[in-house]
Chain A
Amino acid sequence: MSASGEKLLNLTLQVWRQKTATDGHFETYQAKKISTEQSFLEMLDLVNEDLIAQGKEPIAFDHDCREGICGMCSLMINGEAHGPETGTTTCQLHMRHFKDGDEIVVEPWRARAFPVLRDLVVDRSAFDRIQQAGGYVSVNVGGAPDANAVPVSKKEADLAMDAAACIGCGACVAACPNASAMLYVGAKVSQFRHLPQGKPEAKQRALNMITRADKEGFGSCRNHFECEAACPKEIPRRVMAETFRDFTAAALTRED
């Protein structure tokens, strides 16, 4: 039982601090008496309490729900997006996965399309703009038919849900050598192409979203699949294959 096995750790952190576009650098902090029951962000909270007590500005990092669903938290931890555990966001990474005396390097997501705003906080608004290019079914409120009017097989609904689990955190981009957003695009394209409601716009959606991703400065996919390995929600790589298929069909048949 973990609760009885609580230990205290002393750690050395190398943390990226940045206030302007050009002053980024690492600073070293000691994190002392960190409980193995704490989460990684709770460890950073403690470091920040120390900094405030010294009259210094705390480390800025993005976080909100702290239960692995909002996608706000990020962080490259020792070079891995969301740290060493698979299928885990930084907010759900617990300190029991570290050892006493460890040195931990903490950096922001690194990608041209995600400029650093402050310390470990990056601007991910490019992700929203990709969704704005077509991540929806074009339907207004009112006039929807009864929800059971169109059956959806459990298999297709499950495939849609597997893709829809994406939390939009950006780990896929941070992990990709090309900073490609294809897993993120694919998650939305795949969700809708497996549902009858999303089918009419499926091909155009893939074309529009990929075109927007290119415009935002994300790289193209070269099948490294680092994204799949880093994804805290374990979105499968098949969503990208499905997206490329729709994209190709749309590109070959486009009329403009």
Chain B
Amino acid sequence: MTATTATPATSKKSGVDYPLSDLKLDSKIPAGPLADKWTKHKFESKLVNPANKRKYTVLVVGSGLAGASAASSLAELGYNVHCFAYQDSPRRAHSIAAQGGINAAKNYQNDGDSVFRLFYDTIKGGDFRAREANVHRLAECSRQIIDQCVAQGVPFAREYGGQLANRSFGGAQVSRTFYARGQTGQQLLLGAYSSLNRQIEAGKVKMHNRTVMLDVVLVDGHAKGIVTRDLVTGKIEQWSGDAVLLCTGGYGNVFYLSTNAQGCNVTATYRAYKRGAAFANPCYTQIHPTCIPVHGDQQSKLTLMSESLRNDGRIWVPKKAEDCSKDPSTIPEADRDYYLERRYPAFGNLCPRDIASRAAKVVCDEGRGVGPAVGGERLGVYLDFGKAIADKGKADVEGKYGNLFDMYAKITDEDPYKTPMRIYPAVHYTMGGLWVDYNLMSNVPGLFVLGEANFSDHGANRLGASALMQGLCDGYFVIPSTVAQYLANEKPAKVTTDHAAFTESTEHVTGDIKRLLAIKGKRSPRSFHKALGNIMWDQCGMSRTSEGLKGAIKDIQALRGEFWENVAVTGDADSFNVNLDYAQRVSDFLEFGELMCLDAAHREESCGGHFREEFQTEEGEALRNDEEYAYVAGWLYRGADKTPALAKEPLVYENIKLAQRSYK
């Protein structure tokens, strides 16, 4: 599978060396017109007959929108499912924290929306680095998702006449976002969780909480099981299945500070990568423009303020740097710079996330940031509801955003109804992930990857309210068809856990744990994680340079060296050991961070969330290089001290013309 006859290549400008792989990443995109591909593919895919489905077992790792929807849908069809979550309940997966909404091309507002428009907005929003066929399928399925969620009893916001309400999100000029107050992710996840519970009660899903996946087991090149650790007892366990689905979310916590939950990690996907799965576009990370600014160095997490706030909130900084320490209410209109409205009049405050984030960085770097200085810099801009409150009344604003305003007040001790919110960009989502084909299967047969954990639908920048759409699309509508296509060719229960591959994997996993416990160093896992986060944010964050990335790679290698000599892991392997669990996650981040920097250094262009300072237009916008980089970069592991090999999947655009994004 990774038969790599490496041809060494050196990229001309950045000077990072990496071998090229001869592995062909075949996207398996069906032939035919774009709008017919999915329907045709479903018809042409093999089926597993109802009586045979019960002979197959599917292992689903993760219980967020993608995992819970996949596990329940497959169980409804008759498959036996095991589902694994690191939290104490599947309901706590981090999908629950999504606030603003979920897109769907329903055109309930009669404002010109269509499947093709959602498709086009998503491709353009992703800066032309996503696959046409996948994105079109996502747009098609978006409509069914809303129907399904309503049928489950998801309490979406309603108009007085009883119809579903919509609002607008960044990167779109139509109103297609469905929402449940500021808790849309929570309500959609609880919907999927309720379906999952119904299948658990029916005995079709066996749920394993407080369990982490530490390895994928390959037999004859196919994913046929996983090895897990029970976080309560420390027990290492083997699970065999006919297919493995990774639904384990993104890797934003490589930055230490992010809007992710504390437990979010790269462990499952990174360990699958070490077993041969290609990691695609790891440098594509999303920095969300509207988060509460950092307040100090003991902070453990950053809190998002929903993008929906940009429907009514106006973003500004003072025109003059000397006004930045003043009470904002004393700064007259004429002295305010509504920089998004100025630079992007067509989309204004609702331009896409990558653009809004970079624009905030630009004004703060100019010395026009607001709020208290942290580390000598004022890193914040105002998000002002003064005009919305004056025009529509406080009650209207409270009705739409009340819970978000409360959350802001709790964290900052400031009243956003009276004084503008202060916001700054923060790491939020990762577009990169394990490479998958049109069937959501990785290059390892039998290993499927869903939701944020895969790379497939958002290109180099994800539009708001599209993550919930993708997670549920993958789980409810795509995987039930595509997993059958794979299983139909596989004899059920081909492998059991007494196979030698399980023994090898278990020894590998327990060996790692023993190594960590034997170090008995002085420095805590958190301290290493923080140090890694600083390197990543400074050199692989909102803007990147060749020199900075090369330095970061060296710094990460040095930090990793120190980690394996000096990390303090207390306690033992056979108990509830939070410190051991954390150290394992950090050990994977310390390898993965280097892969991200390599990918960012190799991609000699700017696109979406990947902004290389060397490649920008005169106006400071991202400058793509379609001739050389219109491809998916799939990295293949070659061993601990070897540079990974690059396999390229060319991106073919048959239906839309590549263009420089314009939101002006």
Interface residues of chain A, those whose CB is within 8 Å of chain B, are 1-4, 6, 19, 35, 37-39, 41-42, 45-46, 49, 51-53, 55-58, 60, 62-72, 85, 87-88, 92, 94, 96, 117-118, 121, 123-125, 127-128, 131-133, 135-141, 144-148, 150-154, 157, 160-161, 164-165, 167-168, 191-192, 194-195, 197-198
Contacts and interface: CB of A to CB of B under 8 A. Distances in A.
B294 to A, nearest CB: 10
Given A1-B414, A45-B526, A157-B156, A67 B301 contact: yes
A4 B325 CA distance: 11
B522 to A, nearest CB: 7
16 contacts: A1-B414, A2-B414, A6-B296, A49-B526, A53-B522, A57-B577, A66-B303, A69-B96, A70-B87, A128-B200, A141-B477, A144-B148, A154-B159, A154-B162, A161-B180, A192-B153
Given A121-B576, A127-B89, 16 more contacts: A57-B570, A58-B570, A65-B262, A71-B92, A136-B195, A137-B194, A144-B148, A144-B150, A147-B146, A147-B156, A148-B106, A148-B164, A154-B158, A165-B183, A168-B91, A195-B155
A123 B524 CA distance: 27
A198 B571 CA distance: 48
Contact of A68 (B153, B296, B298, B407): B407
Contacts of A55: 520, 568, 570
Contacts, number: 226
Contacts of A152: 158, 162
Given A55-B568, A64-B263, A88 B410 contact: yes
Interface stretch (B12-20, B42-50, B185-193, B656-664): B185-193
Contact of A3 (B194, B371, B410): B371
A71 B190 CA distance: 12
Contacts of B427: none
- Which 7 residue pairs across A and B have the least CB separation, nearest first? A151-B162, A2-B413, A136-B194, A144-B151, A118-B576, A160-B155, A3-B372
Given A64-B262, A72-B88, A124-B88, A197 B152 contact: yes
Contact of B92 (A57, A72, A153): A72
B655 interface: no
Q: Which of B157, B163, B261, B263 has the most chain A CB atoms closer than 10 A to its own CB?
A: B261
Contacts of A131: 193-194, 197
Interface in B382-425: 406-407, 410-414
A191 B155 contact: yes
B97 interface: yes
B92 A64 contact: yes
B120 interface: no
B568 A197 contact: no
Interface string B215-237: 00000000000000000100000
A231 to B, nearest CB: 14
A138 B476 CA distance: 15
What secondary structure prevails in chain A residues at the interface with B?
loop
Given A49-B526, A118-B576, A148-B108, A140 B147 contact: no
Interface string B228-255: 0000100000000000000000000000
Interface string B148-184: 1111110111111111100000000000000011010
A171 B27 CA distance: 48
Contact of A161 (B181, B261, B298, B568): B181
B414 A164 contact: no
B10 interface: no
Given A55-B570, A94-B413, A131-B194, A72 B150 contact: no
B510 interface: no
B94 A70 contact: yes
Contacts of A139: 151-152, 195
B155 A137 contact: no
Contacts of A6: 296
Contact of B413 (A96, A132, A141): A96
A197 B232 CA distance: 38
B89 A124 contact: yes
Contact of B97 (A58, A67, A140, A150): A67
B88 A125 contact: yes
A164 B147 contact: no
Contacts of B329: none
Interface of B: 69, 72-73, 76, 87-92, 94, 96-97, 106, 108, 144, 146-153, 155-164, 180-181, 183, 186-187, 190, 193-195, 197-198, 200-201, 207, 209, 232, 259, 261-263, 295-296, 298-301, 303-304, 371-372, 406-407, 410-414, 476-477, 480, 520, 522, 524, 526-527, 568, 570-571, 575-579
B162 A65 contact: no
A137 B162 contact: no
B153 A151 contact: no
Given A2-B413, A118-B576, A157-B157, A136 B198 contact: yes
Given A144-B147, A154-B160, A46 B298 contact: yes
Nearest to A140: B76
Contacts of B94: 64-65, 70
Contact of A37 (B190, B194, B295, B303): B295
B106 A141 contact: no
B200 A42 contact: no
Nearest to B99: A69
Contacts of A133: 201
A65 B155 contact: no
B151 A52 contact: no
A244 to B, nearest CB: 21
A125 B152 contact: no
Q: Quick one: which of B194, B477, B520 has the most chain A CB within 10 A?
A: B194
B289 to A, nearest CB: 17
A57 B301 contact: no
B155 A164 contact: yes
A10 B161 CA distance: 56
Contacts of A88: 410
Q: Which of B94, B158, B161, B207 has the most CB of A within 10 A?
A: B158
Contacts of B96: 65, 69-70
A197 B97 contact: no
A68 B292 CA distance: 15
Most chain B beta-carbon contacts within 10 A, residue among A71, A138, A194: A71
A137 B576 contact: no
Contact of A67 (B87, B152, B303): B303
A124 B157 CA distance: 30
Contacts of B299: 38, 42
B578 A56 contact: no
B111 to A, nearest CB: 15
B151 A145 contact: yes
Contact of B298 (A3, A42, A65): A42
A4 B372 contact: yes
B261 A128 contact: no
B88 A49 contact: no
Which of B407, B571, B578 has the most chain A CB atoms inside 10 A of its CB? B578
Nearest to A65: B261
A116 B88 CA distance: 13
B295 A136 contact: no
Nearest to B88: A124
A153 B160 CA distance: 6
B262 A35 contact: no
Contacts of B301: 66-67
Contact of B153 (A123, A124, A197): A197
Nearest to B181: A161
A141 B73 contact: yes
A38 B147 contact: no
B300 A66 contact: yes
Contacts of B147: 144-147
Contacts of A49: 524, 526-527
B88 A3 contact: no
A65 B97 contact: yes
Contacts of A56: 570
Q: Which of B87, B304, B413 has the most CB of A within 10 A?
A: B413
Nearest to B158: A157
Contacts of A94: 410-411, 413
